[in-house]
Amino acid sequence: MTDRTELRVAMIGQGFMGLAHSQAWRVAPRFFDLPLRPVMSVLVGRDADRASAAAEDLGWQTSSADWREVVERDDIDLIDICSPGDSHAEIAIAALAAGKHVLCEKPLANTVEEAVRMAEAAEDAAARGVFAMVGFSYRRVPAITFARDLIRAGRIGTVRRVQAAYLQDWLVDENGPLTWRLVKERAGSGSLGDIGAHAIDTAQFITGQTIERVSGFLTTFVAERPLLAESVGLSGTASAERGAVTVDDAAYFTGRLSGGAIGTFEATRFATGRKNAFRLEVSGSTGAIAFDLERMNELEFSDGTDPAGEQGFRRILVTEPEHPYAAAWWPTGHGLGYEHAFSHQVRDLVVDIAAGRQPEPSFAEGLQVQRVLDAVETSAANDSGWTRA
C-alpha cells in the first residue's frame, strides 16, 4: 500500500450481496475506530452502464466491467467478491496472486476441488502477509457471537446435540423464474449451499466442533421454471419458455461432530410462511441455548444448574455494551438489524489485516464447510448413509 492509512477496496458484483457489502463498507468506519480507512474505490459489474449507475447509487468512486484489469491495479488493496459461486475461484486466486487481500462471499466455491485451490492460494498468500476471509456474516450477529462465548466459557457444559434449520419460502411459487441460484453450474447447489452453508458454519462456530460425518438426502420439488426473458432475447421478467432446475429445493441431514455431539440440519426455500427463519438450538450437559434470526437481538438461555423450580429458557436481550459489537451502536434495548453483521465483518477484517493476522473464517474453514456440503450431496446421491466430510 502506498498510503498505509487507507485500504482501497474493489467490489465485484452488484446484486443483493453487493448492496449489503456496500452498506458495510460505508458504515463500519463511521461507527468503529478502524486502524485503516476503507476507501470504496471501484465497483465491478458485467455491464458497464449498469455498473456505473450502481457505483453512483452505492457510493463507489468509479466502476469497471473488467475484473481482471481491476485485480492487477496498483491502487487496489482488497478485492471483495460478491459474484455468483462459479466465479469465486478464478477471481480469488488471481487476486491473491496479485497481492490483494480477499473477502469472498459464502459458500467458498462450487466444488471441493475449487475450494482446495483457493485454500492453497490463500495459504501461500498469507506467508506474504496477504490475507483471505470467507463472508459467513452470521458469525457477527451479536447474539450468535455471544452464544459462542457462553459455550466457550462452559456455561452449558459438554455439547451433546445441535439442531439447525434455515427456512425460507421465496421459491414456493412454481412459476417463479429460473434465476442463476437454480442452475448448478452457476450456484453449485441449491438450498444446501445457499442457506445450509450458514447453518453448518454457525453450528461449528458456536460449538467449537466440526462436522465429521453426515447422512442426508436432497429433494427438488419443481423440476422446471420459466426462463428469464432476458435470457431468450425478450423484454419483461419471464418468458413462456421453461428450463430445468438443476439444484436441490430442500436438504436434510444428520451429522456427527468432532467433540461427540450429534446434529440435525435442514435447509429449504420451500417452507411456506417462513421468510428468513434461521433457528439454532444447542443442548449441553448443564444448559442450552436457542437462537432465531427472526428475533435476532435475543438469545434464549437455559441454566441446568438452577433449582428445579426455576429451570427453563429465559430471554437475554443482546444489546448491552458488554455484548459483542453492541457498544459501538445504539443505547441498550434499541436493537440491530441484518445489515449490521456485515459492518461487523468489515470491522473484524480490517482490524486483522492491520494487525497482520489471519482473519476468520479463513479459506481453510470455508473449505471444511465445502467438504460437508459435498459429503451431504454424496450421501444423498448414493443413498449411502454415513459419509465422511
Phi, then psi, of 28 in degrees rounded to 5:
-50, -45
pLDDT band at 2 (very low <50, low <70, confident <90, very high): very low
pLDDT tens digits, residue range 49-63? 999 999 999 999 999
Cα distances from 254 to residues 44, 165, 184, 282, 320, in angstroms, run: 40, 12, 23, 14, 35
For residues 307 and 314, what is the distance between their CA atoms, to the nearest angstrom?
14
**Helix or strand (DSSP H, E) at 12:** strand 6-12
| Predicted TM-score (pTM) above 0.85 | yes
The mean pLDDT of 93-101, rounded to a whole number, is 98
Residue type, 189: S
For residues 300 and 280, what is the distance between their CA atoms, to the nearest angstrom?
10
The mean pLDDT of 79-104, rounded to a whole number, is 98
Q: Which three cell numbers stand for residue 219?
A: 429433494
Pairing status of strand 287-292 against strand 298-303: antiparallel
Q: Is the pLDDT of residue 234 over 50?
A: no
**Helix or strand (DSSP H, E) at 239:** strand 238-244
The mean pLDDT of 8-22, rounded to a whole number, is 97
Q: Count the Cβ atoms, other than its own, within 10 Å of residue 297.
A: 19
The mean pLDDT of 232-258, rounded to a whole number, is 82
Assess whether the region 6-138 and the region 140-337+369-382 belong to the same CATH fold.
Answer: no
Domain ranges in the chain are: 6-138, 140-337+369-382
CATH hierarchy code of domain 140-337+369-382: 3.30.360.10
Right CATH number for 6-138 from 1.10.3720.10, 3.90.480.10, 3.60.40.10, 3.40.50.720? 3.40.50.720
What's 298-344 look like in SS3? Answer: EEEEEECCCCHHHCCCEEEECCCCCCCCHHHCCCCCCCCCCCHHHHH
Whole-number average pLDDT of the chain? 95
Of the chain, the percentage scoring pLDDT greater than 90 comes to 93
DSSP H stretches of helix in the chain: 16-31, 48-58, 67-71, 88-97, 112-126, 142-152, 184-187, 191, 197-207, 340-355, 363-382
For residues 137 and 20, what is the distance between their CA atoms, to the nearest angstrom?
10
What's the angle, vertex CA 105, arms to CA 85 and CA 126, rounded to 5?
110
For residues 247 and 249, what is the distance between their CA atoms, to the nearest angstrom?
7
Query: What is the distance, to the nearest Å, from the Cα of residue 169 to the centroid of all Cα atoms in its chain?
Result: 19
Handedness of CA 360, 364, 366, 369 (dihedral sign): negative
pLDDT tens digits, residue range 174-227? 999 999 999 999 999 999 999 999 999 999 999 999 999 999 999 999 999 999
